[in-house]
A and B are shown apart, each in its own frame.
Chain A
């Protein structure tokens, strides 16, 4: 008797598709409706919301801010996470488990508590500013509230733990024996890294970088808390439009813009990757 796995799959697929399509369809439609206030939407479909977005520099500059902040945060996260993941993967068993456990714990904790701790560290009477004062390095306290470096730091906290786990899972697929073989044959440490480790990890790093960028683009909680209403990235503007201004139509249109930009950037990146890979083979 054969088990019909398709039938096992079917209910799950139906539920997932319904949730996905229903929510996406309703808000796509909402983005084409004008908001009459009090949660009532005008019946006719129109492009007015999008016209408003594309003619108002406020919305476009917040989109641009989102893209640049997300990119910078992604690059810094990569620079910390990949070497750390590599070091953990090449370590002796017991320590690597302890270090991985620490990452798992920290990435499971809600970002809100992490940001709370970050604000404590950077508060004007906090440990960092006291130390810097004592060293005579600063005359004004360093702050992260309401400025762009602070928001970038918040985004890094949002993705760092996840990024280490992701890159760890990529590095462990590269056998240590390959590196040893290259070393035995006289390659330098840098040479091994550049010519053995990097080429093998590159597709994984690129895919991981894209995931981190996507998460950053949707980064909301940390930016809301650290940005303190001064740094208005697109997710913040969306939340304000919906919750504070109760303009559901415009909010949905802004969400469509965010989703669309993320999808286009992803498609472009995948296209670049495929082209680069083809170049490598040829």
Chain B
């Protein structure tokens, strides 16, 4: 019989191995398999040879879709923050009645299944498009609006959870010591909120960047985002260079998360789950 601490450590190691092999192995396999390239519509694993061919032969439409995704995600991030940051500060600091209901309004898009949101925006666009003389489906603007709808709750959630732990005494101290309102905001409040804002912004970017179920309905033929392009390619015409472009995107996402860990610390991303 092992000592219980040893058993406990064995058990938790085992649990972690199961969880992480499950979580990370598909990503690792995509990257390894991307170094194989053959004139065939399927992938051999492990690769017979090691070549960068599939990286050189990435079709232009993948790069185009990646560029679309980056632009949509950046704009979605900016707008979601422009809506989410004042919303979160306003909810926490005002003394309005029914704050819980207000928060529920902002969080509502999280409760709606994404496919439902996709159908809803498709209907909305078909209705208001002709009225305004604009084509929303398959357009940049239409895609961004729907992504903002999906991403804003995450900005609000992250920031509300940071704000609820905010130490107001620091602000009062600054005011008592003679700082102006604006000076207090700029030198005390903002630095303390920065990690939460940063985390919310990254959430918004990544949600838009990875989004499939809404984008599938709104992509049309001109606004095919990167995940939708991969999705379509997997369903209809598999092509090995998809592994190469996916690996590149994985490395990019990894860099982004590493940069944000370096800038603000990862614990801010964990807090969003605890925002209830």
Contact = CB atoms under 8 A, between A and B. Distances in A.
Interface of A: 1, 3, 5-6, 8-13, 15-17, 19-20, 22-24, 26-27, 30, 39, 80-81, 83-84, 86-88, 90-91, 97, 99-106, 108-121, 123, 125-127, 156-157, 160-162, 164-170, 172-173, 189, 207-208, 214, 217-218, 220-221, 224-225, 235, 238-239, 242-243, 248, 251-252, 255, 258-259, 262-263, 266
B243 interface: yes
Contacts of A114: 26-27
B119 interface: yes
Contacts of B272: 165
Interface of B: 4, 8, 12-13, 15-16, 18-20, 22-30, 33, 42-46, 83-84, 86-87, 89-91, 93-94, 96, 102, 105-106, 108-109, 111-124, 126-127, 145, 148-149, 152, 181, 206, 209-210, 212-213, 216-217, 226-227, 230-231, 234-235, 242-243, 246, 249-250, 253-254, 256-258, 261, 266, 269-274, 276
Given A109-B253, A113-B230, A87 B15 contact: yes
Cβ-closest 4 pairs across A and B = A9-B90, A117-B26, A218-B113, A87-B12
A27 B120 CA distance: 5
Contacts of B122: 242, 248
Contacts of B8: 189
Contacts of A88: 16
Contact of A112 (B15, B109, B227, B257): B227
B86 A8 contact: yes
Nearest to A238: B115
Given A113-B246, A117-B28, A165-B273, A16 B83 contact: yes
Contacts of A108: 206, 210, 253, 256-257
A156 B18 CA distance: 13
Nearest to A23: B120
A20 B109 contact: yes
A207 B276 contact: yes
A30 B96 CA distance: 35
Given A39-B126, A207-B276, A26 B120 contact: yes
A19 B149 contact: yes
29 contacts: A13-B102, A17-B105, A19-B148, A19-B149, A26-B123, A83-B12, A84-B18, A87-B15, A88-B16, A97-B266, A99-B16, A101-B261, A110-B209, A112-B231, A116-B246, A117-B26, A117-B28, A121-B26, A121-B29, A121-B45, A164-B19, A165-B270, A214-B111, A221-B216, A238-B115, A242-B119, A255-B120, A259-B112, A263-B111
A224 B213 CA distance: 10
Contacts of A120: 26, 29-30, 33, 43, 45
Contact of A19 (B18, B96, B145, B234): B145
Given A81-B19, A100-B270, A169-B273, 13 more contacts: A5-B90, A20-B108, A26-B124, A83-B12, A84-B15, A112-B231, A119-B234, A164-B23, A207-B276, A208-B273, A218-B113, A258-B115, A266-B111
A119 B234 CA distance: 10
A207 B275 CA distance: 12
A194 to B, nearest CB: 15
B93 A5 contact: yes
B212 A111 contact: yes
B94 A80 contact: no
Contacts of A27: 116, 119-120, 123-124
Contact of A259 (B20, B116, B254): B116
Contact of A113 (B43, B148, B250): B250
Contacts of B118: 239
A169 B209 CA distance: 25
A105 B250 CA distance: 9
B213 A221 contact: yes
A108 B203 CA distance: 8
Given A80-B22, A243-B216, A104 B114 contact: no
A276 B20 CA distance: 34
B265 to A, nearest CB: 9
B26 to A, nearest CB: 3
Contacts of A9: 86-87, 89-91, 94, 96, 102
A174 to B, nearest CB: 12
A17 B91 CA distance: 15
Contacts of B108: 20
B126 to A, nearest CB: 6
A158 to B, nearest CB: 10
A251 B209 CA distance: 26
B126 A248 contact: yes
A117 B30 contact: yes
Contacts of A11: 83, 86
A29 to B, nearest CB: 8
A102 B23 contact: yes
A202 to B, nearest CB: 14
B114 A116 contact: no
Nearest to B26: A117
Nearest to B23: A106
